[in-house]
Amino acid sequence: MTPLLQVRDISKHYGARIGCTDVGFDLYPGEVMGIVGESGSGKSTLLNCLAGHLPPDRGEVIFDTRADGPVDTVTMSEPARRMLARTDWAFVHQHARDGLRMTVSAGGNIGERLMAVGTRHYGDIRSRATDWLERVEIDENRIDDRPSAFSGGMQQRLQIARNLVTGPRLVFMDEPTGGLDVSVQARLLDLVRGLVREMGLSALIVTHDLAVVRLLADRLMVMKDGHVVEAGLTDQVLDDPQHGYTQLLVSSVLQV
């Protein structure tokens, strides 16, 4: 089977400081990979490099496109990369405000990607938006409300709906549960897990919350100071951490 995403030797430096360095892995269709580490360990830099928001200094990000098979997205043309970013890729920001248009209604937010790829039938867009609101458990009579009238958890669910409406194959998530209270977190995780299974999505989830990866991720990468210090199956890494830092991380989790 061809990996959906092959990452080779990605490095990004901010001047003399290391963002992330020598990161490489394969992600297969339907697989969910977690990236954990403390603040400043290079998780978000890595994710932004992979999603094309930051140009890496070195390395390849090879994505298995529908049309042309595996293509290096770092060197591909910008229009093609942006096209990919609004069709086959999705990016869920930590703060829903970064990923949503706050001055546009929920329906418009969900419809934006559809219109960006050429849908020009209002009725179709409207019914797809209604359908997706239902799938992310937002009441359909909120369709014409602006996201600013939504709670944090609803905003995050709306952001997910807005991203998944074009049926992407790869989802990048940057701390999707950050800033949400635990019960809302639990519902969101439940929702994401359901969508990932149902749509056969592959996902890369950056988080510092080990519970999130335990629940969602098949595989795990642990980062420290820009380096990957440990990688493996989630349960294996969390239950039998080998690297000193991973041991520290696992033992730092508060027990209730």
Partner 1 sequence: MNEYNFAYLDEQTKRMIRRAILKGLAIPGYQVPFASREMPMPYGWGTGGVQVSAATLTPDDTLKVIDQGADDTTNAVSIRKFFERTAGIETTEETEKATVIQTRHRIPEQKLREDQILVYQVPIPEPLRFLEPRETETRKMHSLEEYGLMHVKLYEDISQHGQIATSYAYPVRVSERYVMDPSPIPKFDNPKLEMDAIQLFGAGREQRIYAVPPHTKLVSLDFEDYPFEASKADHACDLCGAQDSYLDELITDDQGGRMFVCSDTDYCRCRREAGHIGRLGVPAQ
Q: Between 106 and 229, whose beta carbon lies closer to partner 1?
A: 106
- What mask of x and - would describe binding to partner 1 in positions 123 to 142, judged by CB under 8 A? x-xx----------------
Q: Residue 165: CA atoms inside 13 Å, Cβ hemisphere, count?
A: 31
Indicate the SS3 state at residue 156: helix
Candidates 26-34, 67-75, 121-129, 205-213: pick the segment binding partner 1 (CB under 8 A): 121-129
Q: Is 105 among the residues that bind partner 1 (CB under 8 A)?
A: yes
* Cβ-based neighbours of 236, under 8 Å, separated by 6 or more: none
Question: Contact at 8 Å (CB) between 222 and 237?
Answer: yes
Pick 115 or 199: Cβ nearer partner 1: 115
Locate 163 and state its tokens. 């991203």
> How many alpha carbons fall within 13 Å on the CB side of residue 192?
30
* Of residues 58 and 101, the one with the C-beta less far from partner 1: 101
Provide, rounded to whole angstroms, the least separation between the CB of residue 70 and partner 1: 24
Q: Which of residues 64-103 bind partner 1 (CB under 8 A)?
A: 78-79, 82, 101
Residues near 124 by beta carbon (within 8 Å), at least 6 away in sequence: 114
Contact footprint for partner 1 (CB under 8 A): 78-79, 82, 101, 104-105, 107-108, 111-113, 115-118, 120-123, 125-126, 143-144
